[in-house]
Homo-oligomer: A and B are copies of this chain.
Amino acid sequence: MAREKKIDMVILGLLSHEQLTGYDIKKRIDGAISFFWNGSFGNIYPTLKELETNGFITRKEATSEGREKISYKITPSGKKVLKNWIKDEQASNELKYETLLKLFFGGVEKRDVTYHNIEVFEDKIRDDLGLLRSYAKVLEKDLDNDDHLHYYLTISFGIESYEAYLKWCSKAKKMLGKGEKR
C-alpha cells in the first residue's frame, strides 16, 4: 500500500458523479464498493484536504448554521487525474483471505477445525452473494446507461466469484469429510 495511494482515486471517482461530504464518501465505500475496496475516516479526511490543496476538488461549505458540514465537488483538473489513472493499464490486485491462511496451515489441527472454518466462510459468502444479487437486479434494468453498465459488470465479477467460492466450499467439505482423521 505504501508508495502509491489509491484512496484519492476512490474519492475522485465518487465525486465525479455527485457532491459529497467525507461522511457520505465513507457510506458510499461501505456500500457496493466494499467488496473490492475499503476506506476509513483515517484516510478519507486527510486525503480530502490534500486533494483540495492540489486543486482537484473544491469545498462547498454549508451556509446554514448548526452542525459543520463540508461538501466537496470535483474540478476539471481532478477529473483529468481520474481519467489518466483509469487509462493507466497497470493495476495492483490483491486478495487477502485469512480463511485461506488458516486453511493452508490447517494440517496442524484436526480436520473438523478446517471443516468448521469453511462452514463459517460459506455462510458469510452466501449472505454477501444475496446482497450483490440484489444490487445487480436493480442495475440490469438500465444497462444502456454507461455508468450502470460499469457498475453492473463490477457487481457481476463479485457474483461470479462468490458462486465459485460456494462451489469450492461444497467440494472442500466433501474431501475433508471422506478422510478419517477427525
- A positions within 8 Å CB-CB of B: 6, 9-10, 13, 16, 33, 35-38, 79, 82-83, 85-87, 89-109, 111, 113-114, 116-117, 120-121, 124, 143, 146-147, 149-151, 153-154, 156-157, 160-161, 163-165, 167-168, 171-172, 175-176, 179, 181
Contacts and interface: CB of A to CB of B under 8 A. Distances in A.
Given A36-B95, A160-B168, A10 B86 contact: no
Given A9-B101, A10-B101, A157-B168, A107 B37 contact: no
Contact of A16 (B38, B105, B161): B105
A103 B168 contact: no
A87 B161 CA distance: 26
Contacts of A106: 86, 150
Number of copies: 2
A40 B147 CA distance: 38
Contact of A104 (B124, B150, B171): B150
Contact of A93 (B6, B98, B105, B111): B98
A37 to B, nearest CB: 5
A124 B93 CA distance: 10
Contacts of A164: 160-161, 163-164
Contacts of A37: 96-97, 100-101
Given A16-B108, A89-B117, A154 B103 contact: yes
